[in-house]
Structure 1
Amino acid sequence: MPVPEMFRVKICGLTDFENAIAVAHSGADAIGLNFYSGSKRRVEPATAEKIANSVRGEVQIVGLFVNATHDEIMQTQRRVGFDWIQLHGDESREFAETIHNELDIPILAASRGTLLRWGTSGEGFQPQAVLMDAAVAGEFGGTGQQTDWQLAATWRSQPQLTRFVLAGGLTPENVAEAIRMVQPSAIDVAGGVEISGKPGIKDMGRVEALVSAAQSAFARIESS
Structure 2
Amino acid sequence: MPVPKPVSVKICGLTEPLSLHAAVAGGARYVGFVFYPPSPRSIAPSMGAELARLVPTGVRTVGLFVDPENDFLEHVVSQVPFDLIQLHGKETPRRIAEVKAAFNIPVMKAIKVGGSEDLAAALEAAEVADRLLFDAKPPAKVSALPGGNGIAFDWTLLAGRSWPKPWMLSGGLKPENAAEAVRTTGATALDVSSGVEDRPGHKDPELIRRFLNSVAGL
* Structure-1-length-normalised TM-score: 0.84
In 1: Cα distance, 2:155 partner to 2:162 partner: 15
Give the residue type in structure 2 aligned to 1:67. Answer: D
Q: 1:96 to 1:7 in 2, by over 3 A?
A: farther
**Residue deviations 1:154-181 (CA, integer Å, cap 9, x gap):** 5xx1342x41210001111110011011
Distance in structure 2 (CA, Å) of the matches to 1:175 and 1:81: 29
CA RMSD of aligned residues (A): 2.1
Deviation at 1:58, TM superposition (A): 4.2
- Pick the aligned partner of 2:133 from 131, 137, 140: 131
SS at the partner of 1:10?
A: strand
- Answering whether residue 175 of structure 2 is matched by residue 169 of structure 1, we say no
Pair 159,193 (structure 1): closer, same or farther in 2 beyond 3 Å: closer
Is it true that 1:183 corresponds to 2:186 in the alignment?
Answer: yes
Whole-angstrom distance in 2 between the partners of 1:121 and 1:173: 33
Closer, same or farther: CA 119–176 of 1 in aligned 2, 3 Å: closer
Does residue 158 of the first structure (1) align with residue 162 of the second (2)? yes
Structure 1 regions of 5+ residues with no counterpart? 1-5, 218-224
* Equivalent pair of 2:22/2:208 in contact (CA under 8 Å): no
Pair 1:63 & 2:67 matched: no
Give the deviation of 1:215 after TM superposition.
Answer: 2.3
- 1:26 corresponds in structure 2 to 26
- Compute the displacement of 1:116 (Å): 3.1
Gaps of 5+ in 2: 1-5
2:135–2:169 CA contact under 8 A, matched in 1: yes
C-alpha contact (below 8 Å) 2:11/2:192 kept by paired residues: yes
Query: 1:127/1:117 Cα in 2 relative to 1: closer, same or farther (>3 Å)?
Result: farther
**Which residue in the other structure is 1:204 paired with?**
205
Q: Tell me the amino acid that sits aligned with residue 200 of structure 1.
A: G
Count matched residues: 206
Q: Quick check: 1:132–1:167 contact (8 Å CA) kept in 2?
A: yes
Deviations 1:99-133 (A, max 9, x none): 112222111100112313745268x8421111111
Could you tell me which amino acid in structure 2 is paired with residue 45 of structure 1? P
Partner Cα distance (2:25, 2:188) in 1: 21
Partners of 1:12 and 1:33 within 8 A in 2: yes
Identity score, percent: 34
